[in-house]
Structures are given as structure tokens and as C-alpha cells.
Amino acid sequence: MANRLIGEVPMVGIRPVIDGRERGVRESLEQQVMDLAKAAATFIESNLRLPGGEKVECVIADTCIGGVAEAAMCAAKFKKEGVGVSLTVTPCWCYGTEVMDTDPLIPKAVWGFNGTERPGAVYLAAALAGYTQKGLPAFGIYGRDVQDAGDTTIPDDVQEKILRFIKAALAVAQMSGKSYLSIGYSSMGIAGSMVNSDFFQDYLGIRTEFVDSTEILRRIDEGIYDKDEFEKALKWTKENCKEGLDRNKPEVQVDHTRKEHEWETVVKMTLICRDMMIGNPKLIDMGYREEGLGRNAILGGFQGQRQWTDYQPNADYTEAILNSSFDWNGIREAFVLATENDSLNGVVMLFGHLLTNTSQIFSDVRTYWSPDAVKRVTGKELTGKTKDGIIHLINSGSTTLDATAQQRDIEGNPVMKPFWEISEDEMQACLKNTVWPPADREYFRGGGFSSLFKTAGEMPVTMSRINLVKGQGPVLQIAEGWTVELPDDIHEILDERTNPTWPTTWFVPRTNGTGAFKDVYSVMANWGANHGAISYGHIGADLITLASMLRIPVCMHNVDNDDIFRPSAWASFGEDKEGADYRACNTYGPLYGI
């Protein structure tokens, strides 16, 4: 079940291009070119799904494209079909700019088949020169090994590039035209929660919607939520979300009746925030059409601190449940809802969600623990992957319960999966490994319940973050690494020193001895903000490809140079990849900038 959003699911358009010389050359190639397009479409359709679970669908141009007229026919078809991604394929020479796709907003790649009978790769070079000269950056895909004419197998290196390109391009297409829903506004002076409409509009094509938190109170007071669903949700919560220990000082603890009221409130808040994001036909049936339409939000943020949380229960339950891959309605696509309305962290959560189809971890990048400091406070040595230190990721609020690390792959390794691969038992295990202690009432005077768990397993993950830099624009940071499990006697002492009612993930980035990745400490020291979004898997290369499509330069990453895949034009900005990225992004400017 996809979260209901207005607008079509983007299609992938495949453009078979051909040498236009009729009476011999073109005829001899028609079949081979179309077969290559069909092979690409089958490969893409059988390997990719969208985060809502839909299969990715391809549209192939009606004819091979030999010149500008057929290029225009293809563009018209793509427009009608809702194509958001364009992949041009050919095994032969074609007329570079005559067959090109000139829509500046659609991410584009060209796969030039590496053969000798008919020169697809030399066309690729001509086409890319044209795209570069015209300011339409395109990705070039060219297999390392020569293939024979008529061979429609897609070599591994080409497969990897096609998938990387399509995944990132689909992310671009899915964001365009959607909304960020800011519930409340700026939280505790956090710059990322001063939602920057220009950034969202110009770089992501996402509009920003602002709703005051009093809208939640109004909907509670006036009963603008589905009462039946509320009863179901409350019952499910009582059965599945175990209340944790109240660690508040006795004088600020509240009684059972007040706690019952807080549980009811946080469940209502969850329904209401979801309805505000994506709408709810039930509200339309109840006579609340405006509310029932929602805001077409692909992501959002909840300010909470301080005005709301000083007065009302915090949104930790709301954020954690919405960001998980399940609730009282069963297993479903995770939402993306940033705590403290940190919209810039919300954006990287969205990138991770769109690239992997999984739910996302939101955390404070709270503490670097050196081996010496751990030894001093626990008397114990850090060992194995943790031996050079660890980073404590912890925050009340948004972290997905999928991060309990209770889902398994076929080999039994802990993973975080797309919702359609998660079993009922795995959902239950995530819930059983989470308790909900009453919120710390010194921070949250209005109460509420925080999710408490630790990420109990080693998983490959990627932490990322966007920061806005005055004079430069947005920049992206990426750190691949692993979640790690600490022995209980170390975990407990370290956790007790901070906010022991919040979920903890211990993180070790992959270091390489230089720059920001010199060691674990320098990763923490170079992190550009208080928050990070953590996605399952090593997806740094995918993030780099996506950022280049959006013209967001990457200021820090630990991805292997060989895995960096950007539009071919980036090579014209110099050999040093990082400097070239900045120059290219500055030259092209934001994708939707005018």
C-alpha cells in the first residue's frame, strides 16, 4: 500500500536511437536497436520497485529515433505517459544532437553499446559532447568489454550504472511537485528547522506548506479524525507498545489518569499528522473535504520543542510510528517525518527512503566516545569494529522502530527491509524490542512517551546530512559505516550518562586515515549539524549520483572513487572530483532554479 499522494508514479522512458540513413543502414539496425531497448526495459522492470511497492514501469518510444522528428514524437509520448526519467540506448552511430532528449528537467543517461560492427560508443561520445555543449548534463554508460553485435545481455558494469542512474533519477522524479509539511516552525534555534522554501523549490521541486501546531488541537477538540480508526489504533497501541519505567523525579510524575489521557492524545496526534500530510477520504465522507485532501506531503517535520511540548504531550510516539514500516493497519510504507522540524535532515531521510525503499533513522549525532574515554568511565576496552571509538546516535522522536535490527535477510543477518519483505513476526519483534517510557518532564513539560530501544545488531548503514551554506548553497555529507552492538556492561553505563529514555544506535564510520575520515573523531568533528539521517545499506554512491542530478555538491564522503557516477560533463570541470563537483554544481545551478 503506497502512502496516498496526488500525481502519477513516474515512468522510465527508453529511447532507442538509430542511424537515420534509410535504404540500407537503418533497416539493418532496427531490430537490434529495438531489442536493446526491450532488454533494458525488462532489466529495469525486473530489478526495481518504488517505495510504495509499485513495480517500476518503462515506456519505449514507438519507433527508433533516427532524427529530430522522431525525437519530438518520442518526447510527446513520454509527456503523455508521465515519464520522469530518460534512458537513451543504441548499439550504433546516430546523429548526436538530432536524436537527443532536450527536456532540461528530466534526468538523462545514454547507454552506448560497446561493439565494433556498428559504433555505439563513438555515438555516445558525440552525444555527450552535445549534451555538455548545450548545458544539459547527461550520464554516459559504456561497458568496459566489447560485445558482439546482436548480443542483448547487459554486462555487470553496465547493469550497475543503469540501476544507479534509474534509482536516483526516479527519486528526483518522485520529489518533484510534492510538498514538505512544516507542522509548527522553528525549534529551539535549530537552523534546519527554519524551513527554507527557496531551497526546497529550487533544488528539489518541492513546495513548502506551513501549518501551525494549533491545527492539531483544533482537530482533537472538534473531533476531526476517524473515530473508528482511533479506537483501533489505541487498542493496538495498548497491546503492542509497552509503557516503560517512569524515570521522572517523583514530584513531576503524573498519575495513571493523566497518562491514559496522554496516550490517547499521542495516538490522535499520529492520525492527525498523517491526515495533514497525505489526506484521508474518511474525513471527506465526514464532511471535512478541505482537511481530507491533505497537503500532498512526501515528507514533513514536527517542531514540537518548545511551544507544543511545554504544553502538550510530545510527538515521539507520532514520529516513531509514522517513520516505521508498520502501525495498527499492518505493514506499510514508512513516512518521512523529521523531529524538531529539522527539514534538512528530513530531506536526507527522504533521499534514503527513495533510494532504498526502507524506513530511516533520525538522530542527534550526539557523542564521540574515544577508546580512552570508554575505558575511563566503564573500565572496559572497546574491541573489534569499535576499537577506534564510536559515535552515539540518539534522539527522542523520529527514529523508526525498524532500527531495532530485528528483521533478517535469508542468511539471518540483521537488516532493514522494504515493507513488502517484512514479515508479521519481524514487525512483532521490532515492537517487542521497544518500550515507551514516560517522557522526561524536565525537557517535555507536557509529557508524552519516548521510544526506547537499542539497535541490536551490526548493519551496514550510511549517515548523511544536507547543510545550507550562505554564499554557496546546499552541500551534502555522507559517511558509510556500520551500526555496532556494545556489550551490555558498556552500553548501559554510556547510555545512563545521556538520555536513557531515548533510542540508541552506536555507529562506526568507515575511516581511511585522511581528511574528514582520518578517524572516528574527525568524522564527528566534521559533521555539519546536530542531526544525521541514517539509511540501511552502503548507499553513498547512490546519494552522490542523486546529488549531482540536483546540483548539490558533496563536501564529505568515504565512497570509493571508482563508484562515483556523475554526469559526463563533470569531467570537463577538472580531474579532482570534489573540486569539479563544486564547479559543475555552481555552473548549472539548482535543477529547478530560474
State the residues that interact with ligand CVU by CB under 6 A. 305, 340, 364, 395-396, 443, 530
Q: Collapsing DSSP states into helix, strand and coil, what is residue 220? A: helix
Angle between helices 540-550 and 577-588 (to 10 degrees): 30
531 in a labelled binding site: yes
How many angstroms separate the CA atoms of 164 and 161, rounded? 5
Output the 3-class SS for 244-294: CCCCCCHHHCCCHHHHHHHHHHHHHHHHHHHHHHHCCHHHHHCCCHHHHHC
How many angstroms separate the CA atoms of 4 and 329, rounded? 14
C-alpha cell of 482? 556500520
Choice between 291 and 364, CB closer to Mn ion: 364
User: If contact means CB under 5 to 8 A according to the sort of partner, which of ligand CVU, Mn ion, none does residue 323 touch?
Assistant: none
Instruction: Write the burial class of residue 240 (CB in 10 Å: 0-12 exposed, 13-18 middle, 19+ buried).
Output: middle
Choice between 88 and 309, CB closer to ligand CVU: 309
Choice between 305 and 386, CB closer to ligand CVU: 305
| Cβ atoms of residues 10 and 170 within 8 Å | yes
How many angstroms separate the CA atoms of 385 and 375, rounded? 16
C-alpha cell of 200? 526546497
Residues 344-403 that bind Mn ion (CB under 5 A): 364, 395
How many angstroms separate the CA atoms of 377 and 493, rounded? 8
- Minimum distance from CB of 443 to ligand CVU (Å)? 4
Identity of residue 235: K
| Cβ atoms of residues 544 and 479 within 8 Å | no
Which H or E run includes 555? strand 554-556
Please tell me whether residue 324 binds Mn ion under the rule CB under 5 A. no
Would you give the DSSP letter of residue 537? S
Which residues are registered as beta bridge partners of 407? 415
**Which distant-in-sequence residues (6+ apart) come within 8 Å of 185 by Cβ?**
193, 194, 195, 210, 303, 341
Residue nearest to ligand CVU (CB): 443
Choice between 114 and 305, CB closer to ligand CVU: 305
User: If contact means CB under 5 to 8 A according to the sort of partner, which of Mn ion, ligand CVU, none does residue 101 touch?
Assistant: none
User: If contact means CB under 5 to 8 A according to the sort of partner, which of ligand CVU, Mn ion, none does residue 305 touch?
Assistant: ligand CVU
Q: How many residues bind Mn ion (CB under 5 A)?
A: 2
Q: Collapsing DSSP states into helix, strand and coil, what is residue 487? A: coil
> By C-alpha distance, which of 580, 342, 372, 326 is closest to 467?
342
Choice between 363 and 548, CB closer to ligand CVU: 363
| Cβ atoms of residues 277 and 160 within 8 Å | no
Which one of 70, 226, 342, 364 is the catalytic residue? 364
- Minimum distance from CB of 306 to ligand CVU (Å)? 8
CA 61 to chain centre: 30
- Minimum distance from CB of 195 to ligand CVU (Å)? 16
User: If contact means CB under 5 to 8 A according to the sort of partner, which of Mn ion, ligand CVU, none does residue 443 touch?
Assistant: ligand CVU
Which one of 291, 327, 340, 495 is the catalytic residue? 340
Choice between 364 and 480, CB closer to ligand CVU: 364
C-alpha cell of 137? 548534463
Neighbours of 287 (CB within 10 A): 9
How many angstroms separate the CA atoms of 75 and 83, rounded? 9
Choice between 533 and 559, CB closer to ligand CVU: 533
Choice between 176 and 399, CB closer to ligand CVU: 399
- Minimum distance from CB of 464 to ligand CVU (Å)? 17
First and final C-alpha spacing in the chain: 36
- Minimum distance from CB of 185 to ligand CVU (Å)? 16
Choice between 395 and 501, CB closer to Mn ion: 395
Choice between 341 and 395, CB closer to Mn ion: 395
Distances in whole angstroms, Cα of residue 373 to Cα of each of 25, 380, 407: 72, 10, 32
Exposure of 283 in the CB half-sphere (CA atoms within 13 A): 21
Let me know if 364 is a catalytic residue: yes
Exposure of 349 in the CB half-sphere (CA atoms within 13 A): 31
Distances in whole angstroms, Cα of residue 487 to Cα of each of 386, 453, 491, 495: 11, 15, 6, 12
Measured in degrees and rounded to the nearest 5, phi and psi for residue 111 equal: -105, 110
Measured in degrees and rounded to the nearest 5, phi and psi for residue 223 equal: 70, 35
364 in a labelled binding site: yes
Residues 208-267 that bind Mn ion (CB under 5 A): none
How many angstroms separate the CA atoms of 371 and 354, rounded? 36
How many angstroms separate the CA atoms of 157 and 537, rounded? 20
Residues at the annotated binding site for Mn(2+)?
A: 340, 364, 531
Residues that bind Mn ion (CB under 5 A): 364, 395
* Catalytic residue list: 340, 364
